[in-house]
C-alpha cells in the first residue's frame, strides 16, 4: 500500500523513513537497536591442529526445533568461521549475566591460534560428540555439526561481508541446577542479550506466561 497526500505527510512527520542502501541519516545505525534483544551465541571451535577458539556472536539464533538447528553470522573471515569450515563442528555456549565480562574478553581481535577461553580464564570441559570443548561455567551448551555455510548475497547479487554458519545440535549439556521440574529455568540462568549498536546489553530476569489462542499451556513431560 502506498500512502499519498495528507496521509503521507502525517506519516513522514511521525516516522523516520530511510532506505538502508542510501544511508540512515541518524547518529547510529538503528537496525541493531531495533532487532533487540539478540541472544548471544558464544561459539567454541577448534582449528585443524586442535587449537581452541571462543567468540561471541549476536547475529545468532535457533531456526528449527526438530531437529534443532542453530546458526551464527560472521561479518568477516573470523577464526570461528574458518574453524567451522575446516572441522565441520562448533559448540554453542549460553552467556549469562555472571559470564558477561568473560564473554567480552573473548570478543577481542587476536591472532589466529590464540585461545580466548584461556585468555578469559575460563575452564574448558570436554564435549562428548565433537572436538571443540564447551565453557564449563556456562549453564547450557550445544554440540553442533555444520549443516551449511552460506555466504549472504544482496538483492543485486553482489556478495555481502556476511557468512551464515548453520549447524544441527547433536548433543545438549544442561547444568542440573537450572532444571526445575523438567523445565530449563531461563530466569534463574539470567541469559545476557545484545541490544544496540552501542555497548548495550540486557539480562533476562523475569518471565511471564501467555498461551497461544486455542492451545493449552504445553504439558510438562519427562524426556521426549
Ligand atoms: C556481544 C558481541 C556480539 C558479537 N556478534 C558478532 C556477530 O554476530 N558477528 C560478527 O561477525 N562479529 C560479532 N562480534 C565480534 C566478534 O566476536 C569478534 O570479531 C571476534 O574477534 C571474532 O572472533 P574469532 O575471529 O575468534 O571468531 C560480536 C562481539 C560481541 C562482544
DSSP 173-185: EE-GGGEETTEE-
d(CA 166, CA 69): 7
pLDDT band at 3 (very low <50, low <70, confident <90, very high): low
Closest by CA to 101, choosing from 75, 87, 122, is: 122
Ligand 1 atom 23, closest CA: 55
User: By residue range, what is the domain housing residue 69?
Assistant: 30-203
| Res 168: pLDDT | 99
Pocket test of ligand 1: the residue of 51, 58, 73 to mutate, having most ligand atoms within 8 Å of its CB, is 58
Average pLDDT over residues 183-208: 95
Number of structural domains the chain divides into: 1
Q: What is the pLDDT of residues 77-107, one digit of tens each?
A: 999 999 999 999 999 999 999 999 999 999 9
Asked whether the predicted pLDDT for residue 5 surpasses 90, the reply is no
**Is the residue at 10 inside a domain?**
no
Using a 6 Å cutoff on CB, does residue 79 contact ligand 1? yes
Closest atom of ligand 1 to 43 CA is 27
**CA distances (Å), origin 135, targets 53, 127, 193:** 11, 10, 18
**Is the residue at 181 inside a domain?**
yes
Average of per-residue pLDDT values in the chain: 95
Asked whether the predicted pLDDT for residue 207 surpasses 90, the reply is yes
CATH number for the domain harbouring residue 109: 2.30.110.10
Asked whether the predicted pLDDT for residue 7 surpasses 90, the reply is no
Asked whether the predicted pLDDT for residue 128 surpasses 90, the reply is yes
Using a 6 Å cutoff on CB, does residue 80 contact ligand 1? yes
**Is the residue at 186 inside a domain?**
yes
Using a 6 Å cutoff on CB, does residue 38 contact ligand 1? no
**Is the residue at 80 inside a domain?**
yes
| Res 220: pLDDT | 66
Q: Are 49 and 79 in contact (CB under 8 A)?
A: no
Closest by CA to 81, choosing from 165, 7, 146, is: 165
Residue 58 Cα to ligand 1 middle (Å): 7
Asked whether the predicted pLDDT for residue 224 surpasses 80, the reply is no
**Is the residue at 111 inside a domain?**
yes
Closest by CA to 107, choosing from 54, 40, 173, 52, is: 54
Residue 91 Cα to ligand 1 middle (Å): 15
Residue 200 Cα to ligand 1 middle (Å): 15
Asked whether the predicted pLDDT for residue 13 surpasses 90, the reply is no
Q: What percent of the chain has pLDDT over 70?
A: 96
Pocket test of ligand 1: the residue of 29, 37, 57 to mutate, having most ligand atoms within 8 Å of its CB, is 57
**Is the residue at 149 inside a domain?**
yes
Average pLDDT over residues 183-202: 94
Of 4 and 107, the one with more pLDDT = 107
Of 4 and 16, the one with more pLDDT = 16
Phi and psi (nearest 5°) for 146? -65, 130
**Is the residue at 81 inside a domain?**
yes
| Res 46: pLDDT | 98
Amino acid at each position: 500500500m502506498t500512502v499519498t497526500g495528507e496521509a503521507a505527510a502525517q506519516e513522514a512527520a511521525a516516522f523516520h523513513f530511510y532506505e538502508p542502501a542510501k544511508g540512515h541519516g541518524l547518529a547510529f545505525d538503528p537496525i541493531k537497536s531495533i532487532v533487540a534483544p539478540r541472544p548471544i551465541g558464544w561459539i567454541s571451535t577448534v582449528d585443524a591442529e586442535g587449537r581452541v577458539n571462543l567468540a561471541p556472536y549476536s547475529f545468532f539464533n535457533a531456526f528449527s526445533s526438530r531437529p534443532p538447528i542453530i546458526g551464527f553470522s560472521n561479518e568477516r573471515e573470523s577464526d570461528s568461521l574458518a574453524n567451522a569450515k575446516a572441522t565441520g563442528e562448533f559448540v554453542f555456549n549460553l552467556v549469562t549475566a555472571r559470564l558477561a565480562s568473560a564473554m567480552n574478553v573473548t570478543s577481542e581481535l587476536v591472532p589466529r591460534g590464540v585461545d580466548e577461553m584461556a585468555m578469559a580464564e575460563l575452564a574448558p570441559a570436554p564435549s562428548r560428540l565433537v572436538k571443540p570443548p564447551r565453557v564449563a561455567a556456562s549453564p547450557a551448551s550445544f554440540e553442533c555439526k555444520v549443516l551449511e555455510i552460506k555466504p549472504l548475497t544482496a538483492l543485486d547479487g553482489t556478495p555481502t561481508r556476511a557468512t551464515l554458519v548453520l549447524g544441527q545440535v547433536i548433543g545438549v549439556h544442561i547444568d542440573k541446577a537450572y532444571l526445575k521440574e523438567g523445565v530449563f529455568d531461563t530466569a534463574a540462568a539470567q541469559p545476557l542479550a545484545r541490544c544496540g549498536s552501542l555497548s548495550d546489553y540486557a539480562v533476562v530476569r523475569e518471565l511471564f506466561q501467555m498461551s497461544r489462542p486455542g492451545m493449552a499451556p504445553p504439558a510438562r513431560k519427562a524426556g521426549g
